[in-house]
Amino acid sequence: MVVDHTGGTYDGYLYVASNDGGVIGVTRFFGSNPPSPYVSGTIDTSFGTNGTVLLSGFDSGHGTDVATSVAVAVGGDSNTYVAVCGYNTVGGWGAAAINTSTGNVAFEDNTATLGITGQANSISFDQSDLFSRAGDVIVAGAKGVSSICMAVIKLDIGSGSFDTGWHTTGIVTIPAVCSGCSWATSAFELGDGTSSEKVIVGGYSLYSSSGVSEQDFTIVELDDSGNKVSGFGSSGMVLTNFGKLISGATNNPSMDHMAKVLEYNGELTAVGYSNAKGSNQFAIAQYNETSGALYTGFNSHGLVLGPTGTATSAVVETVNGNSDLMVCGNVSFDVLLARYTTSGAADSLFGTGANDTIQSDFGVGGTGGSNSNDAAYSVDLLDDGSIIVGGSTTPSGGSAEILLADYTPENRPT
């Protein structure tokens, strides 16, 4: 299976991480308004070898390497880096960074060097460090195999070594609740790039309560030293179960899966899916950044259940100070897009139908067949407002291929 994730755009480039033949590769595409004679959406062959840098040392010689997240940022040394994390099917966490100007690999850390079994799911940049040096990358995921808990690490982007100035070892392990299991799927730095920042970790927790299994959205807030913030939720952690809180739920408790946490309209916003009303639906929760309480200015109670499907990622679209939340996901083996206003309402100016969505089957007019198995893993925005979806597509009767889809801007927030 091909796994691709669009990262950030920089100087008109898109960076896509995928696994091909068991090795992770990072490919650079031209974004909006490329210089002549280049065309948007085509591969920049000047990057690496024919446009791709292979990360053969990610966990060389051990099973299959799978990319799960990619991010782009400018370092304090004025170089731009694209960072990738993932896991190995017979090992554990892996992470790497590439200098985008030279195509040289800054570091490749594998299971042996990181010493963490499980699955790394998210990579981002520590913006406070970027102002003074090459900076850190923040990697979050699930640690362990049978007994699983959230873990977050900070690595120096120049060497790939643990930043021992953060939580002494550069590693924070977050125990699971109620002797269950917890997975971190997303993490980012909250702040304005000052020396004192918080790291927000999002994911989900599976545990048994009174003999009944439930799975909750889970957010953890860490201070600049890597310690849980005591004033946030219960000892730095907030659990949310849609089935317990949504009116008309048929599954109480429900099985909820958080895919991403980000900042939207000044509040922490978690995106994923829930089966609170039977079938999986897009699910969004919004929280006060300080207390962790559900933000009642978002759909009156802080929770939204959207169209049938599984949301996998989101990005904030801002024009002239006004913002919308773009969410991507999957339904019936198709890509599904939805957009939400700051009030939590589905944006009626976007998409079609009762749920104001865009649904795409890339087998139609694609590489073959009238249907395909399409999966969206991430969404990003180009400078001109174009919506970029990264994922995979498997044509009917064919093999998995890279999916990089460009949707034209539609009634952007004004």
For the domain made up of 73-407, the CATH class stated in words is mainly beta
Residue owning tokens 């999986």: 280
Boundaries of every domain in the chain:
73-407
The 3-state DSSP class for residue 92 equals strand
Question: Whole-angstrom Cα distance, residue 375 to residue 400?
Answer: 10
The 3-state DSSP class for residue 50 equals coil
Take residue 268 and report the two structure tokens written for it.
């922490």
Residue type (1 letter), 18? S
Q: Are 236 and 163 in contact (CB under 8 A)?
A: no
Contacts of residue 332, Cβ cutoff 8 Å, sequence gap at least 6: none
**Is the link from the previous residue into 253 a cis peptide, with omega within 30 of 0?**
yes
The pLDDT score that the predictor gives to residue 237 is 97
Question: Whole-angstrom Cα distance, residue 333 to residue 27?
Answer: 25
The pLDDT score that the predictor gives to residue 192 is 58
The 3-state DSSP class for residue 344 equals coil
Residue 402 to residues 5, 314, 356, 362, Cα–Cα distance (Å): 10, 20, 27, 11
Residue owning tokens 């395909």: 372
Q: 409-412 contacts: CB < 8 A, separation 24 or more?
A: 409/384, 409/385, 410/349, 410/350, 410/351, 411/347, 411/349, 411/350, 412/317, 412/319, 412/324, 412/385
Contacts of residue 292, Cβ cutoff 8 Å, sequence gap at least 6: 219, 221, 232, 233, 238, 268
| Direct distance between the N- and C-terminal alpha carbons of the chain, in angstroms, rounded to an integer | 39
**Is the link from the previous residue into 395 a cis peptide, with omega within 30 of 0?**
no
Segments in the chain below pLDDT 70: 1-11, 59-62, 74-77, 127-134, 192-196, 364-370, 411-414
pTM: 0.93
Q: Are 108 and 160 in contact (CB under 8 A)?
A: yes
Question: Whole-angstrom Cα distance, residue 284 to residue 277?
Answer: 14
Contacts of residue 132, Cβ cutoff 8 Å, sequence gap at least 6: 76
Q: How many degrees, rounded to 5, is the angle at CA 72 between CA 201 and CA 133? A: 85
Take residue 2 and report the two structure tokens written for it.
């091909």
Q: Are 321 and 266 in contact (CB under 8 A)?
A: no
Strand duo 281-287 + 267-274: pairing = antiparallel
Strand order in the sheet with 310-319: 310-319, 322-331, 334-340, 357-360
Question: Whole-angstrom Cα distance, residue 60 to residue 77?
Answer: 29
The pLDDT score that the predictor gives to residue 222 is 95
Q: Are 74 and 10 in contact (CB under 8 A)?
A: yes
Residue 217's nearest CA partner among 149, 292, 273 is: 273
Residue 3's nearest CA partner among 312, 258, 359 is: 312
Report phi then psi at 157, rounded to 5. -70, -20
The pLDDT score that the predictor gives to residue 61 is 59
